[in-house]
Structure 1
């Protein structure tokens, strides 16, 4: 018998692995996570939390704490205002030859965004450093029953038709323990030993170069005349980009040449010298707190699943940081996979549902990586325009799965040219403000644990049919009537979801539309049983 028996073993405790453990525990799945590092992250690699990802954090109760610990995002146009409050961060990406150009008004705007997401989401994006976000995720995951072990690494694993046998090791003591899990999820980063051991190949543009990230504390406000901004691309002989980490700390990402910048990754003095050159401030006084080198690449795994092993986050897609899509995309991988694993483990879905993880997330991961590549290359050239560039809200929230666990028209591109979240199956449910018991609630908030049928005002037949179909199939399904228990004060529900007053929308536990009937239908219970059977792969089970 194994030392540890668990439903899911997660390998890797960065943002993506912690999100996996958090969303699985939210679904009531027992999960054990191992991370070889001794603690959560210290360096900023991901601070921008998209509106869609904030929706996911809202569903597990973390949204208020994340906002309290982070900086307050405001529209990018505010970057021109000097001496702004320290907790304010305009969504402006600037370009300049040296840092003082920002204070002198000689910087140019590469991208200037708003905080609002075009009525696409009930949430606003947030800016919370990885060093602050990860401990919150650890705390909530463990509170929900997940076991999270730092200083513990995966030594080996083997899978069979019924599960995975693994060996883990305490990095301090060398003690080894055996684990028997039903499934293994690899969130073990760009180099992913799990992916490599499975022989899963990757494709893409490959390695672009290397980046040296320097976390430092310095008073730069006098140089920039107190102006706040999200990112500044410094386009000079020591090219790189500058992020604000928090009120007093910054991160500079230097495009790193190992020969030209020899010693900078191990010497704080050399790192400071590079920093002074890049910022154009030869007398800069700065406390260098951490230096880390990483690979800038564009690669997507050719498979996201191998038997009972799944890849999430950087293990299956890595791309340039431009746009801030990496961690957000990985956490959305985790959310997509979590409800499907929970459904299979609980017995109300067939194994075929797990195949839809790759069907859905792979094309979105590829398209997202391509968008990051476009942004990175055009910004490095000082030109933010490109004919294939997509709006950030389309990329983070308005994407559509070409294939997967839904019934309706399939195919097409995952990222359309314009933002259009309109109730089509394969997209996140449109955001509509409704009222329940006198309080505002978004359609996005209604589906977090179960399937949800949203029937329009005259769609009572669909509501009754859904209750009967869910009971017959033994799967969790909640029914709401818009015009019944939910009030549509603005009268926009049917308009935004593509329904008539007799229609209905079936939403998955992850908030994506699984099926839609614009109007009334014949034999609604039989139809819904068929639809639910196909979506959950129950129709393929004997």
Structure 2
């Protein structure tokens, strides 16, 4: 067992995970944002006893920084029967405008969710919390983590609850989804290298008398930039910054300062009024070198933070959770070896790195200070706008649809790619994924063979397109684990055995 973490606090006697007869078969999640709620809900839905620890009181704020849900995240919600509700609460946008010259369109995305969804984080949390409660997650609000220790058998989490009461919870694994200032990350001794990119970023939700033409846009002039996004209810989210105003995050913010910054960036303030929320924050680029230390994992902002450009933060955190949750469930329930959990680092760490690069590039374009760099920005954005393949690649990257995991040498070209939502005889693929199992999409002569249905969903694709003979094994997170063109039963058996860990005895 590698990696041991300890923290400050008393050493109360560990107690079993609440509701679990065997703490070696349970998981503790720390942090009740979208990443933690998705993680906990997935685990509980898979039958894993899980406790979600949150230091805040039980209250979902009606104010939040994250407001954009991307196509890949909507697909993950679809695989949990939650996308229709999210879509009904948000506003669909098919494009975003950068610097008045570059328009990124989403209506041609290879997804049924060919748009952005403007949906405040608090609405996402409501949806995910309800699912977690229904799945049986045990919540511990007003409970702070004071220490973490692990051994070969599990993890002990020391906590301080309401009134200062101390308690030690015991589980097989711990997942820290507790944000940029993660207590879990600190307790296991992981650094969080990086730097502050922008100080004194202004956030405001306001009404606009003269809204911009594009409901999602970025404007920049001189030393200032501003980002607009429409909630669809008459309010707009404003994210603004002025290089010349380096104010402490703790300083009060007034609407007039937001007006001045927006005027500096866009030329006028769009008649903003009726602010319902004003706040400051500083934007960092940081990433933990490892997302795993022994039995402890990090996800979301606890593992990586980057600038808000592109609206990727909440989305990448939820995608982290979807990647890790099914793997944890398989290992905790004895269906897979512990080595499966190492693939979380291998697959998701590069995604976090790329998000820092892409969001950072947008912000650095916006922060262009000198005339020559501003001229370069104008030329670059105009050129990109004229090259459709590059704009398409940018859209795929921002929305998460372009993420591809490494595949073994000689593997089929689909291996490691996001699985498209193909039509099946039993419905769509992402409907089939709602069972939380692997899905085997195969030819008719294989689909009716016995020995598979108790381990995974077996489906046959409808239609007669060029891929109709390609057999595909899709992971619970919607990525292709294995594929082959017209394989025999022995090849399918070997693939299922390799990825699900049990022999299924298909071939005679």
- The two structures have a TM-score, normalised by structure 1, of 0.77
Query: For each residue in 1:163-186, what CA deviation from the matched residue of structure 2 results, as whole angstroms up to 9, or x when unmatched?
Result: 11112223x532322211111101
Q: CA deviation at 1:59?
A: 2.2
- Are 1:400 and 2:404 counterparts? yes
Distance 1:292 1:21, change over 3 A: farther
Tell me the distance in 2 between the aligned counterparts of 1:504 and 1:264.
54
Distance 1:93 1:173, change over 3 A: farther
SS across alignment from 1:428: coil
Which residue of structure 1 aligns with residue 173 of structure 2? 183
Q: CA deviation at 1:231?
A: 2.8
Which residue of structure 2 aligns with residue 229 of structure 1? 215
Q: CA deviation at 1:304?
A: 0.9
Distance 1:348 1:320, change over 3 A: same
Which residue of structure 2 aligns with residue 67 of structure 1? 87
Q: CA deviation at 1:139?
A: 1.4
Distance 1:18 1:122, change over 3 A: same
SS across alignment from 1:363: helix
- Are 1:169 and 2:133 counterparts? no
SS across alignment from 1:66: helix
Query: For each residue in 1:4-38, what CA deviation from the matched residue of structure 2 results, as whole angstroms up to 9, or x when unmatched?
Result: 44511111111211221222223222221122233
Q: CA deviation at 1:320?
A: 1.5
Query: For each residue in 1:299-352, what CA deviation from the matched residue of structure 2 results, as whole angstroms up to 9, or x when unmatched?
Result: 222111111101111111211122222211111110011111111122211111
- Are 1:274 and 2:257 counterparts? yes
- Are 1:247 and 2:233 counterparts? yes
SS across alignment from 2:219: strand
1:217 to 197, 206, 209: 206
Conserved? CA contact 1:423–1:430, under 8 Å:
no
1:34 to 53, 56, 65: 53
Tell me the distance in 1 between the aligned counterparts of 2:447 and 2:112.
26
Q: CA deviation at 1:480?
A: 2.0
Tell me the distance in 2 between the aligned counterparts of 1:507 and 1:408.
19
2:458 to 443, 455, 479: 479
Which residue of structure 2 aligns with residue 128 of structure 1? 119
SS across alignment from 1:134: helix
- 1:310-349 to structure 2, matched below 5 A, reads 310-349=297-336
Tell me the distance in 2 between the aligned counterparts of 1:49 and 1:282.
26
Tell me the distance in 2 between the aligned counterparts of 1:425 and 1:48.
29
- Are 1:149 and 2:140 counterparts? yes
SS across alignment from 2:15: coil
Which residue of structure 2 aligns with residue 2 of structure 1? 15
Q: Using the TM superposition, name which of 312-321 and 372-381 deviates more.
A: 372-381
Q: Using the TM superposition, name which of 14-23 and 375-384 deviates more.
A: 375-384
Tell me the distance in 1 between the aligned counterparts of 2:292 and 2:65.
26
Conserved? CA contact 2:200–2:248, under 8 Å:
no
Tell me the distance in 1 between the aligned counterparts of 2:448 and 2:16.
47
1:115 to 107, 114, 127: 107
Which residue of structure 1 aligns with residue 353 of structure 2? 366
1:520 to 474, 481, 487: 487
Which residue of structure 2 aligns with residue 158 of structure 1? 149
SS across alignment from 1:447: helix
Q: CA deviation at 1:70?
A: 1.4
Which residue of structure 2 aligns with residue 416 of structure 1? none
Q: Using the TM superposition, name which of 326-335 and 314-323 deviates more.
A: 314-323
Query: What RMSD, in angstroms, separates the aligned Cα atoms of the two structures?
Result: 3.0
More RCO (CA 8 Å, sep 6+):
2
- Are 1:454 and 2:441 counterparts? yes
- 1:15-26 to structure 2, matched below 5 A, reads 15-26=34-45
Query: For each residue in 1:267-290, what CA deviation from the matched residue of structure 2 results, as whole angstroms up to 9, or x when unmatched?
Result: 24xx32311212325896634443
Which residue of structure 2 aligns with residue 442 of structure 1? 428
Conserved? CA contact 2:225–2:262, under 8 Å:
no
Distance 1:200 1:55, change over 3 A: same
Distance 1:282 1:343, change over 3 A: closer
**How many matched pairs?**
461
Structure 1 regions of 5+ residues with no counterpart? Answer: 76-90, 96-107, 411-421
Q: CA deviation at 1:266?
A: 3.5
Query: For each residue in 1:228-254, what CA deviation from the matched residue of structure 2 results, as whole angstroms up to 9, or x when unmatched?
Result: 511332434443333334523333323
Tell me the distance in 2 between the aligned counterparts of 1:233 and 1:36.
38
